[in-house]
Amino acid sequence: WERFCEVVLSLSHTHLQDLSSQVLAAMDFARRNALVLLLFGAILLVTAQPSGMPKKIKRTHICAACKAVVTELDKKLPSDSRRSESRLLEAMDGICSPANFRVYEYPPPTMAKACEVFMGDHEDAVESTLREMAGKTKEISELTDAVCFSRTGVCDGIDLTPTGNKGEPNVYMDNQPISGDEL
């Protein structure tokens, strides 16, 4: 202990100041690095896409979303001619929620994003077509053709060959397709 005290006392005041400034510089460097890492992590979180989400929404996604939107809206609306504007707007509210797209061709996050793109461009056309055709058709395919082909054209030139097994819907769990055997 005496020897330790002698060594500490023998250190000059200048050496102690140098040592303390080096420690402070190292701490500043560590803080800067921590800040850089924190900012980098935040950027990654903001720019990362959920799994199942394509980097770019394609025309096939928008066509599939159009067909799904028409199908889901038809389920939510009365089948007779009582499709008022208020009922349509109520049904259209939240239509792009991923929960509405669990049994379609693409994973729900992809369908939801494509739905947002489609509805952003064609909401008025969807609303007016559904109102005009209320009570006139019993087949969902007629309604889908009217909205997705005739009125908006989003499915024009899209290969609509089914990709699923024998007309069975694609079902996704944790954004991964699962077969009917696994259900």
Q: So what's the pLDDT on residue 17?
A: 62
Look up residue 134 and give its amino acid: A
Q: How many CA atoms lie within 13 A of 38 on its CB side?
A: 6
Per-residue tokens: 151: 């009125």
How big is the CA angle at 27 (ends 26 and 32), to the nearest 5 degrees? 100
Q: How many CA atoms lie within 13 A of 30 on its CB side?
A: 6
The region of weakest confidence among 65-74, 114-123, 139-148, 156-165 is 156-165
Q: Which of the listed ranges 45-49, 98-102, 127-131 does the model predict with the highest average pLDDT?
A: 98-102
Q: So what's the pLDDT on residue 30?
A: 72
Rounded CA gap, 168 and 177, in Å? 12
Phi, psi values for residue 169, rounded to 5°: -70, 150
Q: So what's the pLDDT on residue 102?
A: 86
Cβ within 8 Å of residue 159, ≥6 positions away: 60
Grouping H, G, I as helix, E, B as strand and the rest as coil, residue 78 is coil
Percent of residues, the chain, with pLDDT higher than 90 = 20
Any alpha helices (H) in the chain, and if so which ranges?
Answer: 2-10, 13-47, 59-76, 85-92, 108-132, 140-145
Residue, of 12 and 27, whose pLDDT is higher: 27
**Is pTM beyond 0.85 here?**
no
With beta carbons less than 8 A apart as the criterion, state whether 135 and 70 touch.
Answer: no
With beta carbons less than 8 A apart as the criterion, state whether 167 and 105 touch.
Answer: no
